[in-house]
Structure 1
Amino acid sequence: MSNPTSMICPGCGTLINTDEKRCPHCGAYNPNLWGLGPALNRLFGGRIDVLTLIPTACIALYAISLLLDLGAALSMGGGLFGMLSPGNIPLLVLGMTHGEAPWWTVLTATYLHGSLLHILFNVLWIRQLGPDVGHFFGPARYFIIYTVAGAIGFILSNLISGYPTVGASGAIFGLFAAIIVYGRNHKTQMMSLMTRQMWQWAIMLFVLGFLMSGVNNWAHLGGFIGGWITAQILVSSSEYREGRITILIALLCLLLTVLGFVLSILEYFPLLLS
């Protein structure tokens, strides 16, 4: 297959040749990003739905964690809330985080889940909030917010409690925060109503976390803080097309997460054989 000869400039959105050293329209240097430009445009530019990639990855990794230890997965020791729970060793192999865990687990644990209800609720929230954050900020900024919020949530959790933990809820609280930040900076009637609703949902879920066992409230708090800070940094540029720097940061988040899964499997896979 021949390489494409044209691409969309990530700086101004104009169609240009891939061999341009500078965009002739906006002057952006190296718009092709060393040959990565077309692929990044497909990933974060709408042809590939990055909003779907996150819940799909969560579901796929949950299925893998069950298959790695079917005995634990089919055990009903945890009752309804523990239905189809992966064993601890498969979760450790795939990147569960805890107080003494390697650095990469704060990225990988966001895509892992501890039971059927756990992943069901989290995927539903991601599908509910993700499209709005992607629409307001753009897909690359959405991925950055999701990644940073999830990581900061687990960092806070590991520093304070240190208990083994998985789940996307910290990142989800970061999405709540991102929509609130956007609404505070775009004061229309619709955004005011949406901001109020996000506050209500976030507070309700945070309070419920104290009424249920096994809920990582520190990750929720850290994720909300991480999402708020990241959204505050990104909201001023949310009205503009996602540029090269934003896309490269999103790519870095993706590569670090994938690297984390590889490192975790290499580190802990022998545990499955013992």
Structure 2
Amino acid sequence: MNNPASSKGPLLCPRCRKLVSADESRCPYCGLTAPGSRWRHGLGTSLLMDGNRLIRAILVVNVVFYLLTLMLSGRGMHLSANPLAFLAPSSRGLMALGATGTIPIDGYHRWWTLIAASYLHGGLLHILFNMLAFRQLAPFIVQTYGTHRMLAIYTLTGAAGFLLSYLAGVRFTIGASAAICGLIGAALYYGKSRGGLYGQAVYRQVGGWALFIILFGFIVPGINNWAHGGGMVTGILLGLALGYRERKRETAVHRWLGILCFFSTLFVLVWAVFSALVLR
């Protein structure tokens, strides 16, 4: 089968998904340069051009890593009647695939876990709630900031949240909630900055989520409030620094930042699986 980028016939623009000629120098609909270029149809770049595919990929990776931690836990997996601890992987299984905190970083110099920990979860309800929240929030961030900026915000806020919790002395931690709080922070910045009836509505709704997360963190024991707060503040700052579509079009800096975050995450996750299954 011929590579679609090598054909001179029509193809779908990787960014806006509208039909264009493969030899167009610029997409007439969204302005993407060289939409028929071969590199734009690779795995990483095609995911970053399609928000729905990117969101599905993040969801799938989270589920796969959860199942891997259960497999590595073996008999250490918890089958407690407590719904919060049901189907909870063992600390050993989580450690093997990239849990972060002072124990993995100070004890084993595993700094890469600042990224990997966002794809690990401590039980069935943990991953279910996080993925439902991500699935509800991520499409709005993709629409508002674009796929490259969304992935950059998700990756960097998760790492920043876990870095703050490490500096605060949290010994062992996991979960996508720091990165999800980063998306909430970016949405808060958008709503407050945009203003108007729509911006105020976004700010009030997302602000309600933020308030719930803060209260939940103080009521329920074992919640990493440092990671949540660090992710949310970093999301606000990245929203300010990167800008959103209505006020700032996507630039080469945004695209390269998204690509860097994509391949950094890919490398870290591949290394996590390799070190857990081959080097253990």
Q: TM-score interval w.r.t. the shorter chain?
A: 0.7 to 0.9
1:89–1:271: 8 Å Cα contact kept in structure 2?
Answer: no
Question: What do you get for the CA RMSD once the two structures are aligned?
Answer: 3.0
Tell me the equivalent position of 1:162: 170
1:107 and 1:260 in contact (8 A); partners too: yes
Structure 1 gaps, min length 5: none
Which of 67, 71, 95 aligns to 2:71? It is: 67
Contact 2:157–2:235 (CA<8 Å) still a contact in 1?
yes
Kept in 1, the 8 Å contact 2:23–2:36? The answer is no
Q: Secondary structure at the match of 2:99?
A: coil
- 1:139 corresponds to which residue? 147
Give distance in 1, aligned partners of 2:279 and 2:45: 39
Q: State percent identity of aligned pairs.
A: 30
Q: Is the 8 A contact 1:9 1:16 kept in 2?
A: no
- CA pair 243-73 structure 1, distance change in 2 beyond 3 A: same
SS state of the match for residue 100, structure 2? coil
Query: 1:55 is matched by which residue type in structure 2?
Result: L
The aligned counterpart of 1:185 is 193
Q: Does 1:250 align with 2:258?
A: yes
Q: Is the 8 A contact 2:117 2:174 kept in 1?
A: yes
What letter corresponds to residue 136 of structure 2 in structure 1?
A: Q
Structure 2, unaligned runs of 5 or more: none
Q: How many residues align?
A: 266
Tell me the equivalent position of 1:2. 2
Superposition TM-score, scaled by structure 2 size: 0.83
CA distance in 2, matches of 1:14, 1:45: 14
Aligned to 1:37: 40
Choose from 207, 219, 238 the match for 1:211.
219
- Structure 1 residues 45 and 209, CA, compared in 2 at 3 Å: closer, same or farther? same
Question: 1:237 and 1:193 mapped to 2: Cα distance?
Answer: 18
Match of 2:268 in 1: 260
What is the aligned partner in structure 2 of residue 53 from structure 1?
A: 57
Aligned counterparts of 1:116 and 1:14: Cα–Cα separation in 2: 41
Give the alignment's TM-score, normalised by structure 1: 0.84
CA distance in 2, matches of 1:258, 1:180: 28
Bigger CA drift: 205-214 or 217-226?
205-214
User: 223, 228, 236: which one pairs with 2:236?
Assistant: 228
Q: Distance in 2 between matches of 1:230 and 1:15?
A: 33
Most deviating of 183-192 and 120-129: 183-192
Give the Cα–Cα distance (whole angstroms) in 2 for the partners of residues 167 and 47 of structure 1.
Answer: 22
Aligned twin of 1:122: 130
Q: Structure 1 stretch 256-265 or stretch 136-145: which is displaced more?
A: 256-265
Higher relative contact order (CA 8 A, sep 6+): 1
Residue type of the alignment partner of 1:175? L
Asked if the contact 2:22–2:36 (Cα under 8 Å) also holds between the matched residues in 1, the reply is no
Mean alpha-carbon deviation: is it higher for 217-226 or for 185-194?
185-194
Partner of 1:106: 114
1:118-161: CA deviation from partner (whole Å, max 9, x where unpaired): 11111111011111111111122111111111010000011112
Cα distance in 2 for partners of 1:205, 1:29 equals 38
